[in-house]
């Protein structure tokens, strides 16, 4: 009996048993691992199948816009695009960059005095020659009402328009707006004599660039776009009180609006960029370029509805 026990627990037998146990465990581990891989593959296949079968809320949308982009800020990805990288005339979307350049300027804390030259651009904002404004107030008034006079006055802080526009383009490059170029501070079309009247935009940019411009501004200088979320505001200069209405006429139809800016010229046609919160601090930025005067609003509302459905399903 003792000899049998000795043989059972001899080094040779223990090694043999240990080898058998290890081998058995290895086989079991391989089987379990294979089952896990198969289960994971099956789960992934089911997930992909569900995703493929999910309705795409953007699929059936018809837009008048030449370019459009819907940007998911949290996930840093474009969830819809139409010619999103094509440079198009910006019209008054240019004024967002104007406001940004004025804000970061060393002269950005000074008061602005309205001159006769400031009132030369097309459009009348009822600004008064000799009146003085705080830069922040004039900036907000300019963005809310899309005032060309106000944009020109902000640029005048540099003394020379070309220097201010140069600062706008330097800032655009720093932000990473690869398809944007600015030629003036208000975005009005420029008439160029080349053997006949010819129009060129005051600024060019892509729909995707405009979402990035809004994102950069909201993240770094949210006060710049704060006024654009309101339907109307009152502004006080040294001389008078101004009642200002937002040029975004569908502002009441955009839930949780964070910011918006319109643009329209003969060359650009209808532009609109908005940022809104889908809930729980989940901002979405929608950019529409080259639509019609009315189509910019209907296009944006279509993309707004589709983006809400997309976020709910993802």
The pLDDT of residue 308 is above 90: yes
The pLDDT of residue 19 is above 70: no
H/E stretch holding 44 reads helix 11-53
The tens digit of pLDDT for each residue in 30-39 reads 776 666 666 6
Q: CA–CA separation, 216 vs 186, rounded Å?
A: 20
The tens digit of pLDDT for each residue in 192-237 reads 654 445 679 999 999 999 999 999 999 999 999 999 999 999 999 9
The tens digit of pLDDT for each residue in 268-281 reads 999 999 999 998 88
pLDDT in the model for residue 49: 47
The pLDDT of residue 15 is above 60: no
Nearest 5°: phi and psi at 227? -65, -25
Confidence band of 5 (pLDDT split at 50, 70, 90): very low
Structure tokens at 142: 């300019």
pLDDT in the model for residue 311: 92
Question: Going by C-beta distance under 8 Å and a sequence separation of 6 or more, which residues neighbour residue 161?
Answer: 152, 155, 184, 185
Structure tokens at 150: 């106000």
Compute CA distances 234 → 71, 133, 140, 227, 231, whole Å. 32, 13, 10, 10, 11
The tens digit of pLDDT for each residue in 100-130 reads 999 887 665 678 999 888 888 887 778 999 9
Greatest alpha-carbon pair distance for the chain in Å reads 119
Nearest to 275 by CA among 267, 283, 265: 283
Domain-by-domain residue ranges, the chain? 2-44, 67-313
Nearest to 83 by CA among 264, 289, 268, 260: 289
- Total-model pTM: 0.81
The tens digit of pLDDT for each residue in 45-91 reads 555 544 456 789 999 899 999 999 999 999 999 999 999 999 999 99
CATH 3.40.710.10 holds for 67-313: yes
SS (H, E, C) 103-160: HHCCCCCCEEECCCHHHCCCCCCCCCCCCEEEHHHHHHHHHHHCCHHHHHHHHHHHCC
Q: CA–CA separation, 277 vs 256, rounded Å?
A: 5
The pLDDT of residue 185 is above 80: yes
Mean pLDDT score, 122-142: 90
The pLDDT of residue 293 is above 50: yes
Q: Which segments within the chain are labelled E, that is strand?
A: 67-72, 77-82, 88-89, 111-113, 132-134, 181-182, 190-193, 197-200, 203-205, 232-236, 241-245, 257-265, 269-277, 283-291
Nearest to 105 by CA among 32, 159, 67: 159
pLDDT in the model for residue 258: 98
Compute CA distances 19 → 9, 14, 23, 26, 30, whole Å. 14, 8, 6, 10, 16
Q: CA–CA separation, 227 vs 39, rounded Å?
A: 53
For the chain, the distance separating the N- and C-terminal CA atoms, rounded to the nearest angstrom, is 71
Q: What is the rounded average pLDDT for all residues in the chain?
A: 86
């Amino acid at each position: 009996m003792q000899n049998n026990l000795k043989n059972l627990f001899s080094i040779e037998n223990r090694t043999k048993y240990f080898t058998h146990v290890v081998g058995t465990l290895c086989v079991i581990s391989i089987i379990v691992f294979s089952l896990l891989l198969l289960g994971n593959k099956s789960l992934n296949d089911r997930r992909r199948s569900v995703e493929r079968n999910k309705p795409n809320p953007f699929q059936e949308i018809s837009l008048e816009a030449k370019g459009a982009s819907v940007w998911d800020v949290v996930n840093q990805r474009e969830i819809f695009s139409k010619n999103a990288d094509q440079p198009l005339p910006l019209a008054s979307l240019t004024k967002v960059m104007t406001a940004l350049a004025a804000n970061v300027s060393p002269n950005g804390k000074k008061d602005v005095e309205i001159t006769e030259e400031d009132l030369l651009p097309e459009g009348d904002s009822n600004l008064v020659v000799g009146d003085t404004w705080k830069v922040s107030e004039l900036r907000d008034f300019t963005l809310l009402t899309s005032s060309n006079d106000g944009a020109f006055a902000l640029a005048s802080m540099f003394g020379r328009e070309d220097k201010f526009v140069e600062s706008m383009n330097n800032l655009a490059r720093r932000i990473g707006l690869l398809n944007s170029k600015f030629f003036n501070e208000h975005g009005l079309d420029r008439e160029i004599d080349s053997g006949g009247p010819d129009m060129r935009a005051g600024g060019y940019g892509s729909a995707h660039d405009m979402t990035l411009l809004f994102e950069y501004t909201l993240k770094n200088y949210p006060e710049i776009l704060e006024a654009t979320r309101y339907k109307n505001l009152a502004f006080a200069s040294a001389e008078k009180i101004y009642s200002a209405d937002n040029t975004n006429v569908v502002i009441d139809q955009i839930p949780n609006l964070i910011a918006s800016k319109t643009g329209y010229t003969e060359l650009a046609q209808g532009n609109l960029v908005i940022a809104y919160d889908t809930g729980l601090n989940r901002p979405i930025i929608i950019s529409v370029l080259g639509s019609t005067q009315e189509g910019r609003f209907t296009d944006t509302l279509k993309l707004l509805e589709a983006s809400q459905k997309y976020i709910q399903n993802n």
